[in-house]
Amino acid sequence: MRKLLFVALAALMLLPSCTQKPKYRILSCGVRHESNTFSTIRTELENFTVMRGEELFESNQPWVEYLRSQKDVEFIPTTHAYSWPGGQVTLEAYEQFKGEILEAIRNAGQLDGIYMDMHGALHVEGMDDAQADLVKEIRAIVGDSLPISASFDLHGNVSDEFLSGLNYMTGFRTAPHRDGAETKLRAVKALMRLVREGIRPCIAHAELPMLIPGEKSITEVEPMHSIYARIDSIEALDGIMDATILVGYAWADLPRSAMRVFVVAEDSAHFEEAGDICLSVAQQLWNKRFEMEMDVPSGSIKDMIRRAYEIPDTTVFISDSGDNTTAGAPGDNPQVIKALLEEHAENALFAGLVDKAAFDQCREAGIGAELTLTLGGVKDYVFGSPLTIDAKVIDMSSEETMAEDNGIVLIESDGLKIALLSRRTSFTTVKQFEDIHLNPLDFKVVVVKLGYLYPELRDIAPVHLIALTSGFCNLDMRTLPFKNVQRPAYPLDLDMTWNAHLQ
Ligand SMILES: [Zn+2]
């Protein structure tokens, strides 16, 4: 009897572990890039920052922390690759990342869900639609029933084929971008709803034949402000999970370059309602197209320089918008430096020019050295040409920053301060100015290789002007040599008509 009791007790003690529910196995992956097809420079494997597996845990991203904190989730991060916007991605780089992701999925065993951390404007040389290819290859391994959720930058061009591989999608709701982290978290939380509750959403979407650059679709100003403000009330509706407006990426000469609206219904019962909402938002966007213009004055570089000096007692930021590295341009066109020197611009800072050779020459010569430099015009040989100047090296970043390949060298030529960068980037933060001991607000004119100002600079800039410089990110779409985008499209075909319809 005592023996029986002991056996029964032992069985009871074992019971919890026998009946414990297996964890949901969630895998993540991503290849994020905004590919400018007009650019002369390719984005290669070495240009990507890649986090593999548990390296992702070091990134402190809210979506990563969320998945790690869920007691019922086993999180399996794989390859996450990201590169600064640039020219089209090499096949070698894409095949490398795709190979790693597919191998990890094959080796992962039973999965319950996949999250794809994407940008949406990836283009790979020689391929029609690499993003659609990636999700298709993933589906070939995991089948059609596994929930896949994805998040996008609002400058993504997400084709029908790519979308057909997804069960849920969402995108940024701010440009300049302030909500990247919360967008990814939303995509992951939605994925967990799909996994835990077994729901399978239906996504209504509409494609608008519109090529609108980010500078003309800032969500903090009209008409986009009011249109994006509709998203909150749409997703609060019963049975609707999300509404996404992707402005799209206009500097990609591809058939899928367009503006899009997506409304995610929880199930097929709410699909018709999602479709009606989608059409209503799409039609509103189309009707407001002529109002999608820049929110700050713009004009030729010389006009913008002269205008800046007419505005008293304040710093004026000027964007060198045609050579905007954050939209994929090379960043080595010195045309604005030439204009500033010709205008004898006083108390002006040019921040900055991407030129590794000049950067190295100055770094080697050291602070105080005087030398003759030939700047830029190498990567962007289409719109730019080299500029020779006499300059003095006056400052440079710390050795620590130099070691991180983030260094800046400051030179002065004829009273103009010029920041030289060793790698392709733009000034987007205050810290970059501080690295060379500058406060941008001490200058009368600060020129940056951006279109719209990034949030930190937008928040401090007293006045902003956009110089319509030539380059691969020309803000006048009608001047670019489009061959492959679908026509008619606004603003290439101004007299076209269009009515909203679902895809
Ligand atoms: Zn973007």
Give 34 Cα–ligand 1 centroid separation in angstroms: 8
Place 359 in a pLDDT band, splitting at 50, 70 and 90. very high
pLDDT digits over 83-125, tens only? Answer: 999 999 999 999 999 999 999 999 999 999 999 999 999 999 9
Give CA 392 to chain center in angstroms: 36
309 plus 220 within the same structural domain: no
Give 307 Cα–ligand 1 centroid separation in angstroms: 29
As given in the structure block, the two tokens for residue 180 are 């990247």
Residue 128 lies in a domain: yes
> Residue 19: what pLDDT?
63
Choosing from 291, 316, 337, the residue where a domain stops is 291
Residue 497 lies in a domain: no
Give 211 Cα–ligand 1 centroid separation in angstroms: 14
Q: Distance (Å, rounded) from C-alpha 10 to C-alpha 20?
A: 17
Q: Distance (Å, rounded) from C-alpha 473 to C-alpha 451?
A: 9
Structural domains of the chain, count: 2
**Do the Cβ atoms of 270 and 283 come closer than 8 Å?**
no
Burial of 170: CB neighbours in 10 Å, binned 0-12, 13-18, 19+:
buried
**Do the Cβ atoms of 281 and 262 come closer than 8 Å?**
no
Q: Mean pLDDT across the stretch 459-471?
A: 97
Place 20 in a pLDDT band, splitting at 50, 70 and 90. confident
Q: Distance (Å, rounded) from C-alpha 376 to C-alpha 374?
A: 7
Give 27 Cα–ligand 1 centroid separation in angstroms: 25
Q: Distance (Å, rounded) from C-alpha 317 to C-alpha 298?
A: 12
149 plus 190 within the same structural domain: yes
Residue of 174, 163, 172, 168 lying closest to 188 (CA atoms): 168
Compute the half-sphere exposure of residue 290: CA atoms within 13 Å on the CB side of its CA.
Answer: 4
Q: Distance (Å, rounded) from C-alpha 477 to C-alpha 248?
A: 13
Give 247 Cα–ligand 1 centroid separation in angstroms: 9
> Residue 270: what pLDDT?
98
3-class SS letters over 164-218: CCCCEEEECCCCCCCCHHHHHHHHHHHHHHHHHHCCCCEEEEEEECECCCHHHCC
**Do the Cβ atoms of 220 and 203 come closer than 8 Å?**
no
pLDDT digits over 197-222, tens only? Answer: 999 999 999 999 999 999 999 999 99
Choosing from 240, 266, 291, the residue where a domain stops is 291
> Residue 431: what pLDDT?
96
Helix then strand then coil, in percent of the chain rounded to 5, is 35, 25, 40
As given in the structure block, the two tokens for residue 431 are 């810290």
Give 11 Cα–ligand 1 centroid separation in angstroms: 58
Strands 408-413 and 387-396: antiparallel
Place 5 in a pLDDT band, splitting at 50, 70 and 90. low
Give 296 Cα–ligand 1 centroid separation in angstroms: 19
**Do the Cβ atoms of 393 and 408 come closer than 8 Å?**
no
Q: Is the pLDDT of residue 450 over 70?
A: yes
pTM score, whole prediction: 0.90
> Residue 414: what pLDDT?
97
Decide: helix, strand or coil at residue 335. Answer: helix
Give 73 Cα–ligand 1 centroid separation in angstroms: 31
381 plus 261 within the same structural domain: no
Give 326 Cα–ligand 1 centroid separation in angstroms: 9
Q: Is the pLDDT of residue 2 over 80?
A: no
Q: Is the pLDDT of residue 269 over 90?
A: yes
Give 83 Cα–ligand 1 centroid separation in angstroms: 13
- Tell me which H or E stretch contains 81: strand 73-82
Give 187 Cα–ligand 1 centroid separation in angstroms: 17
DSSP bridge pairs for 396: 409
333 plus 258 within the same structural domain: no
Domain that includes residue 425, residue range? 298-475
98 plus 217 within the same structural domain: yes
Q: Is the pLDDT of residue 16 over 70?
A: no
pLDDT digits over 130-181, tens only? Answer: 999 999 999 999 999 999 999 999 999 999 999 999 999 999 999 999 999 9
* Alpha-helix runs per DSSP H in 311-405: 335-342, 356-365, 399-403
Q: Mean pLDDT across the stretch 431-438?
A: 97
C-alpha to C-alpha distances, 236 to 10, 204, 243, 268, nearest whole angstrom:
50, 17, 10, 18
Q: Distance (Å, rounded) from C-alpha 165 to C-alpha 145?
A: 10
CATH of the domain at 186: 3.40.50.2300
- The residues placing their C-beta within 5 Å of ligand 1, an ion, are 153, 155
> Residue 445: what pLDDT?
98
Give 175 Cα–ligand 1 centroid separation in angstroms: 7
Q: Distance (Å, rounded) from C-alpha 263 to C-alpha 183?
A: 15
302 plus 287 within the same structural domain: no
Residue 322 lies in a domain: yes
As given in the structure block, the two tokens for residue 42 are 């390719």
Give 235 Cα–ligand 1 centroid separation in angstroms: 22
Q: Distance (Å, rounded) from C-alpha 233 to C-alpha 255?
A: 32
Place 15 in a pLDDT band, splitting at 50, 70 and 90. low
Q: φ, ψ for residue 64 (rounded to 5)?
A: -70, -45
Residue 17 lies in a domain: no
**Do the Cβ atoms of 73 and 24 come closer than 8 Å?**
yes
More confident residue, 250 or 12: 250
Mean pLDDT of all residues belonging to the chain: 95
Residue 116 lies in a domain: yes
- Report the 10 Å Cβ neighbour count for 208: 24
Give 224 Cα–ligand 1 centroid separation in angstroms: 15
180 plus 325 within the same structural domain: no
> Residue 12: what pLDDT?
53
Residue of 393, 392, 419, 389 lying closest to 406 (CA atoms): 419
Q: Is the pLDDT of residue 301 over 60?
A: yes
169 plus 243 within the same structural domain: yes
Q: Mean pLDDT across the stretch 75-80?
A: 98
Choosing from 275, 291, 307, the residue where a domain stops is 291
Residue 486 lies in a domain: no
Residue 386 lies in a domain: yes
154 plus 275 within the same structural domain: yes
384 plus 317 within the same structural domain: yes
Residue 481 lies in a domain: no
286 plus 368 within the same structural domain: no
Give 153 Cα–ligand 1 centroid separation in angstroms: 5
- Tell me which H or E stretch contains 317: strand 316-320
Place 404 in a pLDDT band, splitting at 50, 70 and 90. confident
What string of DSSP letters covers 395-448? EE--HHHHHTT--EEEEEETTEEEEEESSS----SHHHHHHTT--GGGSSEEEE
Give 249 Cα–ligand 1 centroid separation in angstroms: 8
* DSSP label at residue 34: B
> Residue 447: what pLDDT?
98
Q: Mean pLDDT across the stretch 294-306?
A: 96
221 plus 340 within the same structural domain: no
